[in-house]
Amino acid sequence: MTSDTSKLDQSSSPGDVGKASARKLSDSKKLTGFAAIKDNLQFVRGRGGFEIGIVLLVLVIGYVTAGIFIPNSFPFLDSNNLSGVISQAVPVLAILGIGVGILMVSNEFDLSLGASLTCDAIVFIQVDQHAGLFLASIAAIATGAFIALVNGAIVVYTRIPSFIATLGMSFFWNGASIWINGTQAAELDQKHQTGAIEWVYVHNFGVFRSQFLWMILVVVLAWFFLHRHRLGNHVYAVGGNVAAAEAISINPKKVKLLSFGIYGSLVGLAAIMIAVQTSSMQPGGSATADYTLFAIAAAVVGGTSLQGGRGSVFGMLFGATLIELIQNGLILGRAPYFYITVFVGLTIVVAAIFNKLMEGKAR
Amino acid sequence: MKTPLLRLDNMSKKYGPNTVLSDVSFEIGKSEVVGLLGDNGAGKSTLVKIMSGVVPATSGNFYWEDEKIENLNREATEKFGIETIFQDSALVPQMSITRNIFMGREIRNKLGFMKMREMAQVATDVLDSVVTIEGIKSPKQLVQSLSGGQAQAVAIARAVHFKRRLLILDEPTSALAVRATEALLDYLRQLKTEGVSSVLVTHNLHHAFKVCDRHIVMNHGRKILDVAREDTSVEELTAAVVSGAEGVRLYRESVGK
């Protein structure tokens, strides 16, 4: 490894304009061990997921300790809690949080998320009755993508702020779900509640469920897209500074529509999980309304900037996990229900303030 | 005369009722450094945006190597090899230096995934070879953590790395330190020997006079002077920038030209 620095020097010498006195970037020593980790952390922090990861780690250590020493009054490690609550709730919110987060990095919002969940779930249940699980899954994800792309097209081509446009569209899609299904709840057929559908989406493997595997898949794919693919780079560019992206011939409309499409597909996937888990869906949107703001909260708690251009997939995952764990901890600790909303609300505001401070520090 | 690289013919631009450019025509030759001068509001930035295809002109023609170009846009100018550094909107502050340099032109494999190591290596080389940048620790650093001059240098380094035929620099020296400015001006001279033309947009006449072969002075959206370096002086250019065409006439009278 000692030859590294000399190799760098050689590669930078051709084309040099002859400023021998200046200190060069490639002259700087290769860092190793702890110094290298510290160096890298400095850059990771700029992306907004690091601090929340530490908070989450502390919380998990606390929960696990409590779960080991006082299992009766705080049954966190009970397999019923791990597989029944944690691995059903966390993946759904994490998948939604990642979808919303990608959209937020491109500097857009979608307030019709809850309405879309209802529509997608109803489409899934109805198609499943007639055409089977595979087509139903595709139909639900396609519906999610379609709804998001319609919203996205309105926002991108009319330049109405996405806040207003998608607020309006959320009423539209809520109404559409009643139009598709009538006012009765869509029920997943008894014989459709077991077998393949159960294995694929909600099977209990003891301490975790199928949803957990889906979440890992989404995290991996989203990470490679957002942090390693050139299109992900364009999402950051468009969200961070539209003018700069345009000047370098990135088309912001295409990039924003792509973000809407990815977000919508993830909403469709989450809708399937909710539908299979609850085996029915009430049209009108009231059943899924909470998810909209929880998903935005997950992204914000995870360090995603409300102004676009900043956020990380792991941050979004950590944000969703943190929100669900705080709720879970309060329930396990037998806190009254209003405590839960109070604490979740505080977490979101504190996280937002914290991220704001960190954004200032990163400058 | 040789075919010019780029020719503008009667370019005009109106924003609503406001005319910001009226009937501007000029040429930029191959391997030529042209200074585009003028006071604030003279129409320099609009001209730059039209030349780089970001903003369409209201009327007028654009010729690239004597070929008339319809539908001028950024894709077309990128294909020609025109690279622009915009004064205000060059970089994304939340992104790293490497990602900014390769924004939209990532080094990637067939599936479109970026080759991070290679990009970081090239970014390091580019930053080292183009302009001397003091105080940048790593190409991973976010642009928002850089000073104005450092960010400017990164934007210049990017444009120079991707330049092929014509480099347009909009007020590149405004945030640069003295030494970095000297290095940049040196670099423009060197590019010329490599066959790359540049347009230096500035209101610092001394910088322009040092490197430019020809000077075009704009005033209230019109071209008032288009003169080779041999035939002018800093004083004449100053008169043109400050007092317009009338200033040039008075100056020429006073020196008896």
Q: What is the CATH number of the domain that holds A135?
A: 1.10.3470
Interface test with A, best of B127, B128, B156, B191 (most A CBs within 10 A): B128
ipTM score over 0.90, yes or no: no
Kindly state whether residue A31 falls inside one of the protein's structural domains.
no
Tell me which range, A164-178, A324-338, B13-27, B75-89, is most confidently predicted by mean pLDDT.
A164-178
CATH number, position B86: 3.40.50.300
Q: To probe the interface with B, which of A41, A220, A230 has the most B CB atoms within 10 Å?
A: A230
* C-alpha–C-alpha distance, residues B100 and B113, integer Å: 16
Q: Are the beta carbons of B95 and A237 separated by less than 8 Å? A: yes
- Number of domains into which chain A is organized: 1
Cα distances (Å, whole numbers) of residue A302 to B3, B27, B62, B212:
57, 53, 49, 51
The answer to whether the beta carbons of residues B166 and B198 sit under 8 Å apart is yes
CA distance B2 to B230: 19
| Residues of chain B neighbouring A231 (CB-CB closer than 8 A) | 112
The reported pLDDT for the residue numbered A307 is 85
In-domain check, residue B29? yes
C-alpha A153/C-alpha B115 separation (Å) is 32
Question: Is residue A259 over pLDDT 90?
Answer: yes
Whether residue A36 is contained in a domain is answered as: no
Token code pair at residue B167: 């480099």
Would you say B237 and B215 are in contact if contact means Cβ atoms under 8 Å apart?
yes
The angle that helices B148-162 and B116-129 make with each other, rounded to 10 degrees, is 110
Does residue B74 belong to any structural domain of this protein? Answer: yes
Range of the domain at B178: 6-255
Cβ pairs bridging A and B (under 8 Å) = 128
Q: How confident is the model at residue A29 (pLDDT cuts 50, 70, 90)?
A: low
Whether residues B141 and A43 touch (CB distance < 8 A) is answered with yes
Interface of A with B (CB under 8 A): 8, 11-12, 15-17, 19, 22-26, 28, 39-40, 43, 46, 224, 228-231, 233-234, 236-237, 239-241, 243-250, 305, 309-310, 362-363
Residue B1: inside a domain, yes or no? no
Nearest residue of A to residue B136 by CA position?
A25
Nearest CA in chain A to B141: A43
The per-residue pLDDT for B120 is: 87
Q: Give domain status of residue B119, yes or no.
A: yes
Residue from the list B93, B108, B130 with its beta carbon closest to the beta carbon of A241: B93
In a domain, A28, yes or no: no
Instruction: Please check whether residue B44 lies inside any domain of the structure.
Output: yes
CA A181 to chain centre: 29
Spatial CA neighbour of A301 closest among A41, A107, A98: A98
Q: Is residue A311 part of a domain?
A: yes
Q: How many domains does chain B have?
A: 1
| Inter-chain residue contact B138 with A247, CB threshold 8 Å | no
pLDDT in tens, chain B (257 residues): 578 888 888 888 888 888 888 888 888 988 899 999 888 878 888 888 888 888 888 888 888 888 888 888 888 888 888 888 887 667 898 888 899 999 888 888 888 899 888 898 888 888 887 665 667 778 888 888 887 778 878 888 888 888 778 889 888 777 777 877 887 788 888 888 888 898 999 878 888 888 899 999 888 888 888 888 888 888 888 888 888 778 888 888 887 76
Q: Are A56 and A324 in contact (CB under 8 A)?
A: no
Per-residue pLDDT at A22 exceeds 50? no
Number of other CB atoms surrounding residue A69 within 10 Å: 9
Contact indicator for A298, A96 with CB cutoff of 8 Å: yes
Which residue of B52, B95, B105 is in closest CB contact with A240? B95
Q: Is residue A25 part of a domain?
A: no
Question: In the 3-class helix/strand/coil scheme, how is chain A assigned residue by residue?
Answer: CCCHHHHHHHHHCCCCCCCCCCCCHHHCCCCCHHHHHHHHHHHHHCCCCHHHHHHHHHHHHHHHHHHHHCCCCCCCCCHHHHHHHHHHHHHHHHHHHHHHHHHHHCCCCCCCHHHHHHHHHHHHHHHHHHHCHHHHHHHHHHHHHHHHHHHHHHHHHHCCCHHHHHHHHHHHHHHHHHHHHCCCCEECCHHHCCCHHHHHHCCECCCCEHHHHHHHHHHHHHHHHHHHEHHHHHHHHHHHCHHHHHHCCCCHHHHHHHHHHHHHHHHHHHHHHHHHHHCEECCCCCCCHHHHHHHHHHHHHCCCCCCCCCCCHHHHHHHHHHHHHHHHHHHHCCCCHHHHHHHHHHHHHHHHHHHHHHHHHHC
Tokens of B136: 């940048």
Give me the pLDDT at residue A41, please: 64
∠ at Cα A150 (A262, A308), nearest 5°? 50
Nearest chain A Cα distance for residue B159, angstroms: 10
**pTM of the model as a whole:** 0.84
Q: How far apart are CA B97 and CA B102, in angstroms?
A: 9
| Helix, strand, or coil (residue B70) | coil
Which residues of chain A does B96 touch, with a Cβ-Cβ cutoff of 8 Å?
A: 43, 46
In-domain check, residue A226: yes
Contact list, A30 vs chain B (CB under 8 Å)? none
Given this model, what pLDDT does residue B158 score?
A: 86
**What's the Cα-to-Cα distance from B125 to each of A153, A243, B235, rounded to whole Å?**
41, 27, 40
Containing structural domain, residue A59:
49-68+76-362
Distance from CA of A25 to the nearest CA of B (A): 6
Beta-carbon separation of B103 and A363 below 8 A: no
